[in-house]
Amino acid sequence: MAHIVAEPCFNCKYTDCVVVCPVECFYEGEAMLYIHPDECIDCEACVPECPVAAIFHEDNLPADWAGYKELNAELAAACPSITERKDPMGPPV
């Protein structure tokens, strides 16, 4: 099982989550972050760090965002790893 980054991250891209990840399983796309499902250890350290509540355990992913499970797997494999905090794209929450 893995965690999934979903819709609230789109055009927002807060990176508070990446600095607490002990296995560095976050990847940065142009408009949002992704979690590599084979690297995520389900520690949940990232979940409370996301200020827009965009990270879900795959068992709790809202049905409307089910496509993000496949999107995370596909794009995490194609995007560069991110381990350091950056300024977000969106306005502060």
Q: How far is CA 91 from CA 16, 24, 44, 61, in A?
A: 14, 25, 25, 25
Least confident of 5-14, 69-78, 81-90: 81-90
Single-letter amino acid, residue 81: S
Query: Count of CB atoms within 10 A of residue 26's CB?
Result: 26
pLDDT tens-digit readout, 21-46: 999 999 999 999 999 999 999 999 99
pLDDT at 91 over 90: no
Could you tell me the domains of the chain? 3-76 (3.30.70.20)
Q: What is the pLDDT of residues 5-20, one digit of tens each?
A: 999 999 999 999 999 9
Which residues fall within 8 angstroms of residue 46, CB to CB, at 6 or more apart?
A: 3, 17, 18, 20, 21, 26, 35, 55
In the chain, the amino acid numbered 50 is: C
pTM for this entry = 0.93
